[in-house]
Structure 1
Amino acid sequence: MMAAGGWWLLLLGAAGLVSGVPPVRWLQVTEEPEIKTLLGLVEREYNSASGREDVYRALRVSDVRRQLVSGIRYDFTVFLGRTLCKKGDEKVLENCRLHDSASLTEIQCKYSMLVFPWANETKVLEQTCSQEDLMKESNEPSSDPSIKAEDEMLETLSLFKDFVTTYNKKYKDDEEALMRLQIFSQNLKKAKEIQEKDLGTAEYGVTKFSDLTEEEFRTLYLNPLLSSQPPRPMKMAAMLADPPPAQWDWREHGAVTEVKNQGMCGSCWAFSVTGNIEGQWFLKKGSLISLSEQELVDCDGVDKACGGGLPSNAYEAIEKLGGLESEQDYTYMGHKERCSFSGSKVSAYINSSVEIPKDETQIAAWLAQNGPVSIALNAFAMQFYRKGISHPFRILCNPWMIDHAVLLVGYGDRAGKPFWAIKNSWGKDWGEEGYYYLYRGTGACGMNTMCSSAVVD
């Protein structure tokens, strides 16, 4: 196990979280450089303040506790032994031979210190010393619950180090890095709670959003307009009499483009709609074209660009504009810019749009027959989703709080659990290669409340 201070420097320096902090090599527990540094300070302070002529040096340390606060707080007990050196001797303290009576005159000191590794600063918070008879010392291991807390902290630090390396996280200074570490720690607990309550086979844990608060995540990646504004009325799609096939996946039939990344912009509505139209165009015209979300972000005058939008509004905007340009011609920027749509560059158009019934059997039948479906859902469990079939408790993922638009591309069954296959727009480094698998048959997370599709004649 690595000392907490070593971990902290490793995170700031070697992981590149803060510029100007030199890389730190991997430290072994036997070296414990942070503890050695603290003991050196203890020796200097004790010998400087004591009225004794003899010099004392640290023999051992026990009951070390570490706590991450504004810095790293160390609480520990150190035992000092009398040496043959006298004050003023020009000798290295660790080379001073112990006095024959050192075991009988041992000094026990309890210290609390606050260390700021990034500033090379240490503050002594508390210090008390008393002479103890070694025969009274117990060699039994401590059963203090703080040991468990320390192990958890070190495990969190290890996970955080892997997190910043995996997702190439950069923070402006050590203060922000510490703040993100604290948020990361709280999010680990949230992910664990979601995991314990999930009814499916999903795995929740560290994702690229693990250093964001819930409010930050919602603001940057979700879409509040989905539940706060009513959708534009659309014609209801015809009910289908034939039952759907047992499983279907439009990825296997060439109707789905690669997973895209909306970035820190609440433009999921645009990605959901373009994904749907890409499938519709492929099925009607035989050509799969990656279409432009940026055109909608810039040119849809009803929706709010990165502030959110509704698929129903987007269909109408596309009809009025005259179609969508390709991704190649109108590249995604991740923020609103001046509308530069050109009718001469239209790669796909739509004629109308329809609302799809809320019955999941009808949704499956319509999807299998007509192509991927634009849907919206409650993204409660998605911040920490890693893989598997997600099935949160209904009360935690209620259907009337939908806040994210995605693309339904298929459905099936895994080991007896029915699922929907959902294409997300957070990049391939999220979920299962960019996909979310949600339990099918119960309207989980409101996935059946806002289903729609463009119509291409």
Structure 2
Amino acid sequence: MMVGFGCPVILWLSLAAVQGSVLGLGEDMDRPLIGPPGSPVRLHESDAGLKKALQFVEERYNQGSNAMHLRKVSRLLSATKQLVKGIRYSITVELSNTQCKKSTMLRTCDFYPEIQKLKTEVCLFEVWDIPWQGTSTLLRQKCQPKVEVQQEETNNIVDASTSQPLEDSVELLGQFKEFMVKYNKDYSSQEEADYRLFVFHENLKTAEKLQTLDQGSAEYGVTKFSDLTEEEFQSAYLNPLLSQWNLHRLMKPAPSARGPAPASWDWRDHGAVSSIKNQGMCGSCWAFSVTGNIEGQWFLKNGTLLSLSEQELVDCDGLDQACKGGLPSNAYEAIEKLGGLETETDYSYTGKKQSCDFTSMKVAAYINSSVELSKDEKDIAAWLAENGPVSVALNAFAMQFYRKGVSHPMKIFCNSWMIDHAVLMVGYGERKNIPFWAIKNSWGEDYGEQGYYYLYRGSNACGINQMCSSAVVN
């Protein structure tokens, strides 16, 4: 059922259009976010680690700024931390000019009393802190000028229908309604609809930034995830365990390919890839990545393409955490211990953990061991072309708003340490001289290009080379 929108929504939208973008705004900053272990937790400004991180981002910002005066945090808008082999802080603040020049060494620096000299910016920082090593790394910095609302005393009545912000709001409302219809969205209340509209608006801006800064040929914009915050998207669809490197099981190295990689290769053209699947709102990407790999390995050894059961892993893999995340290395070991995988038909997917219903009599495919591939992309391509689709993982930040084309996000958006999504690499090639990896995703056929994501090949983009593995079927 469609949710109606009245005048209050449009008026609120016009104000939001004037005020500009502030990512991560929200009250109750010390309230934990709901999600799996390793998911973000909101911080209060009194948190000692946050204070240290704020000081760090101030220093890094001023080191990279060409401004004459120092800038300091004038307002904390939101802050979260996430445990990922250290602590990842995500901080949104306002930075404003002080009266201290960079060359001075003063203990206190007051802000300018005049608003026009404050030159306030809204900045999003991501910091990776490893306390036991005493190191901090700035992973991401995005800043934009804060737009102040100008309030003037007047007795004139302004016709709101002629104002530009309202025109923008009507256009935005139309986009949102189109989004709701296309993806069958239904919200429980007017308040929920208003909030989702706000998130949708912020996500349009994020997609626009990705589009402006993309180094490939990708198109970013409205997707079925456009009404989810970054934290909600991570909690529902991604896998925080992948970036906890201390949890990874050591695997045997894969033997090198016998020859160099051909110019292009696609296992879809050779019958080794099953149809696109959908993990739903469950962080089970690790299971889909592994079963896709085994489907390819079984096909190459036995000539039969089977659709194997991810639900068996979600229910029966005691080494991983079902919808809360898992690791391909663990999944291979669990499959060996179980004795194999049933088919999708015999053990169908529900998208939630249930009691294990595995039956050895129904095993349709098995594996003998597993191997880890080289981290060199040329070696990965050669191995893939010779041996079959590869289980891989990557930083999925840009994937939330990906529509088509070859994605090549800047490293500030897609660093190689924050890997949070497992997928299946099925091939590679070039489009208009842009080299790419062809990646089978598990978010349904209505994602990306008929369920596929194309990522730039040759620069280790988004950490795509960090976690490549395969089962071995003798």
- Per the normalisation by structure 2, the TM-score is 0.68
Give the Cα separation in 2 of the matches to 1:267 and 1:66.
39
Structure 1 residues 69 and 385, CA gap change in structure 2 (3 angstroms) = closer
SS in 2 for 1:190: helix
Number of the residue aligned with 2:388: 371
Contact 1:276 1:407 in 2 (8 A): yes
User: 1:199 is matched by which residue type in structure 2?
Assistant: Q
- Distance in 2 (CA, whole Å) between partners of 1:232 and 1:66 is 53
Matched residue of 1:347: which SS?
coil
- Counterparts of residues 110-121 of structure 1 (less than 5 Å): none
In structure 1, C-alpha distance between the alignment counterparts of 2:414 and 2:155, rounded to whole Å: 56
Unaligned runs of 5+ residues in structure 1 are: 1-15, 25-33, 39-64, 74-127, 133-140
Deviates more, 1:288-297 or 1:228-237: 228-237
- What is the one-letter code of the residue matched to 2:11? Q
Out of 352, 363, 381, the position equivalent to 1:335 is: 352
Partner of residue 240 from structure 1, selected from 251, 257, 271: 257
TM-score in terms of structure 1 length: 0.70
Matched, 1:67 2:11: yes
**TM-fit CA distance, 1:71:** 11
Matched, 1:184 2:203: no
Inter-partner Cα distance in structure 1 for 2:255 and 2:424: 20
Q: Does 1:154 align with 2:98?
A: no
Residue 222 (structure 1) aligns with: 238
Q: What's the CA shift for 1:70?
A: 12
Task: Report deviation, 1:214.
Answer: 0.4
Alignment counterpart, residue 188 of structure 2, candidates 168, 172, 188: 172
Distance 1:177 1:166, change over 3 A: same
Q: Secondary structure at the match of 1:153?
A: helix
Partner of 2:417: 400
AA in 2 matched with 1:404: H
| Rg larger in structure | 1
- 3-state SS of the aligned residue for 2:454? strand
Cα deviation, residue 155, structure 1: 1.4
Contact 2:13 2:169 survives alignment (8 Å): no
CA contact (8 A) 2:236 2:281 kept: yes
1:371, CA displacement in angstroms?
0.2
Give the Å deviation of 1:241: 4.7
The answer on 1:203 being equivalent to 2:219 is: yes
Conserved? CA contact 1:160–1:181, under 8 Å: yes
In structure 2, do the counterparts of structure 1 residues 229 and 337 end up closer, same or farther at CA, with 3 Å as the change threshold? farther
Identity of aligned residues (%): 65
1:415–1:72 Cα change, 3 Å: closer
1:291 maps to amino acid: L
Does structure 1 residue 17 correspond to structure 2 residue 9? no
Q: Find the aligned partners of 2:223 and 2:342 in 1 and give their Cα distance.
A: 33
- In the TM superposition, residue 229 of structure 1 has moved relative to its aligned partner by 3.8
Residues 342, 365 of structure 2: 8 Å contact kept: yes
* 8 Å CA contact 1:259, 1:434 repeated in 2: yes
Match of 1:345 in 2: 362
**Alpha carbons 1:66, 1:72 under 8 Å: kept:** no
Q: Which residue of 2 aligns with 1:257?
A: 274
Structure 2: how far apart are the matches of 1:221 and 1:338? Answer: 22
Q: Give the Cα separation in 1 of the matches to 2:393 and 2:346.
A: 28
Determine the C-alpha separation between the residues in 2 that align with 1:414 and 1:72: 39
- In 2, the alpha carbon distance for the partners of 1:145 and 1:214 equals 33
Q: What CA distance in whole angstroms lies between the structure 1 residues aligned with 2:257 and 2:424? A: 21
Q: CA deviation at 1:147?
A: 2.7
The CA distance in 2 between the partners of 1:221 and 1:323, in whole Å, is 26
CA contact 1:17–1:172 (8 Å) conserved in 2: no
Q: 1:55: which partner in 2? A: none
Conserved? CA contact 2:13–2:166, under 8 Å: no
Question: 1:69 and 1:158 mapped to 2: Cα distance?
Answer: 12
Aligned partner (choices 448, 453, 461) of residue 431 of structure 1? 448
Deviations 1:276-303 (A, max 9, x none): 0000000001100000000000000010
Task: Give 1:67's aligned amino acid.
Answer: L
- Kindly report which structure 2 residues correspond to 1:36-51, keeping only aligned pairs within 5 A, or say none: none
1:269-288 matches, cutoff 5 A: 269-288=286-305
In structure 2, what residue type is equivalent to 1:455? V
Q: State whether residues 14 and 166 of structure 2, in contact with CA within 8 Å, keep that contact through their aligned partners in structure 1.
A: no
Q: In 2 relative to 1, CA 145–449 (structure 1 residues): closer, same or farther, beyond 3 Å?
A: farther
For the Cα contact (< 8 Å) 2:394–2:422, is it kept in 1? yes
Q: Cα distance 1:145–1:419, how it changes in 2: closer, same or farther (>3 A)?
A: farther
